[in-house]
Amino acid sequence: MQQVPPKGGTDLLQDWSRLLESQPRLRIREAARQLGVCELALVRARSVEPAQPLRPDFPALMAEMHTVGEVMILARNDAVVHEVTGTFGEFRTSGSGAMGLAVGEIDVRVFFRHWQFGYRVIEHVRSGRRESLQFFDAYGVAIQKIYRTGRTNGDAWDSLVARFTAPETSPTPIAPAPERVKRADAGVVDAESLRTEWRTLKDVHHFNAMLKRHDCDRLTALELMGDEHALRLDHSAEGESPLTQLLHQVCEAACPIMTFVGNRGIVQIHTGPVEHVVPMGDWINILDPGFNLHVDLSGITQWWRVRRPTSDGAVSSLEAYDADGVLVLTVFGARKPGQPEDPLWQQQLSALEDSPCV
């Protein structure tokens, strides 16, 4: 299927090709940033095997993903990439269709009001031909990518793509980039009321609703709570980030963790032990079978140990924020609802608090 290219698409493709000649390992998101466009603009500019648009019935599409067998799913923000290989279980959608979730090998929480565009994308990379379904928000920013693997049921995948391929039309325009996130005015927030409600929480899932009631963003709430519930962490005396130190600790202690990474359209979760922690320049990585995490430490400006009360006892986490005050990564100890937090996990976080800081 041929897609009508956006105005200037040929020039953009040429600029992209020249950029890749000088930086052959450059990822498409970074290429888009350097070229001053959104990622979707580059996806639409492809001339060899143009991207095929998908019908925007995304809840129905996701509900069928279990039929294709194994896939690799990727969600990211500007600082963190989260990749899980597995098989979708049942995907459930809320009555309004605004939200959806899957649990099991693939564990995601989806916010469909931000899913504006979907494409089937075929790329030719060093490892060969790579095929994926890619979903974007109104601003052309990637929300999630679902990759076909060597174990995907090819017939089921092709059938799914055929059922959800959209008619050939001119593409819907991409909205201009949104304004930067605005932080709450801490002086306006009723800090004492916020602290009182935080201390009486019964479920971590009630946290975001609490913030909305107080018209307060997450990071401002942490700054107002005090060290017992929200403690800002710095790099250790050895120069390690709190995450680097934590990953080495949980790997050595065989302490399973839960990693949450998201953007405005999805939160992707993985639960399990950590086996291979690999530093690479500014990046710290988990490179395990079925799970990869890539964290650009240069893109994170604040680290916090956060503790929230629940009916099962306190639940604690490490949270990472970028320069705009946006949450980009959360790490919990592995835990099921109704169970108290693992003391082994609590020890790992306590070690971060005890480390000397610079």
CB 82 within 8 A of CB 331: no
Residues 76 and 216 in one domain: no
Residue 1: pLDDT over 50: no
What is the reported pLDDT for 273?
A: 97
Structural domain includes residue 128: yes
Most confident stretch, 36-50, 73-87, 199-213? 73-87
Are the C-beta atoms of residues 184 and 216 closer than 8 Å to each other? yes
Do both 143 and 274 map to the same domain? no
Whether 159 and 271 map to the same domain: the answer is: no
2 pLDDT band, cuts 50/70/90, is very low
For residue range 24-39, list pLDDT tens digits in order: 989 999 999 999 999 9
Mean pLDDT value of segment 241-247: 97
- Asked if the structure places residue 110 within a domain, the reply is no
CA dihedral 203, 209, 215, 221 (to 10 degrees): 30
Q: Is residue 123 part of a domain?
A: yes
Mean pLDDT of the chain: 93
Asked if residue 75 has pLDDT above 70, the reply is yes
What predicted TM-score, i.e. pTM, was given to this entire model?
Answer: 0.93
**Assigned domain for 171 exists:** no
Residues 272 and 342 in one domain: yes
Q: Which of 318, 344, 338 is nearest to 329 (CA)?
A: 318
> Do 202 and 346 sit in the same domain of this protein?
yes
User: How big is the chain by its Cα radius of gyration, in Å?
Assistant: 21
Q: Are residues 152 and 201 in the same domain?
A: no
* Residues 141 and 229 both lie in one domain: no
Q: Is residue 141 part of a domain?
A: yes
pLDDT of 290 higher than 70: yes
What average pLDDT does this structure show over 189-200? 95
Does residue 158 sit within a domain?
A: yes
Phi, psi angles (nearest 5°) of residue 319? -125, 145
| pLDDT above 50 (res 8) | no
Average pLDDT over residues 316-343: 95
* pLDDT, position 138: 97
Counting the structural domains of the chain, the total is: 2
- The 10s digit of each residue's pLDDT in 112-157 is 999 999 999 999 887 789 999 999 999 999 999 999 999 999 999 9
> Is the domain of 54 the same as that of 143?
yes
Both 226 and 275 in a single domain?
yes
pLDDT over 90 for what percent of the chain? 83
Q: What's the confidence (pLDDT) of residue 9?
A: 61
Instruction: Quickly state the pLDDT bin for 12 (edges 50, 70, 90).
Output: very high
Whole-number pLDDT of residue 354: 75
Full residue range of the structural domain in which residue 235 is found: 191-281+294-354
In a domain, 108, yes or no: no
The CATH number of the domain holding residue 21 is: 3.40.1570.10
Q: What is the average pLDDT across 183-210?
A: 92
Sheet containing strand 107-111, edge to edge, reads 91-93, 99-102, 107-111, 266-272, 257-263, 327-333, 315-321, 302-308, 230-233
- Residue 241: pLDDT over 90: yes
Sequence letter at residue 105: E
* pLDDT at residue 247 tops 90: yes
| 78 lies in the same domain as 146 | yes
Residue 355's pLDDT band (cuts 50, 70, 90)? low
Domain membership of residue 38 (yes or no) is: yes
Asked if residue 235 and residue 146 are part of one domain, the reply reads no
* pLDDT surpasses 60 at 4: no
Which residues have a Cβ under 8 Å from the Cβ of 147 and sit 6 or more positions away? 71, 72, 73, 74, 130, 131, 132
d(CA 26, CA 32): 10
pLDDT value at 344 more than 90? yes
Residue 186 confidence (pLDDT) above 70: yes
| d(C-alpha 326, C-alpha 68), whole Å | 34
One domain, residues 216 and 335: yes
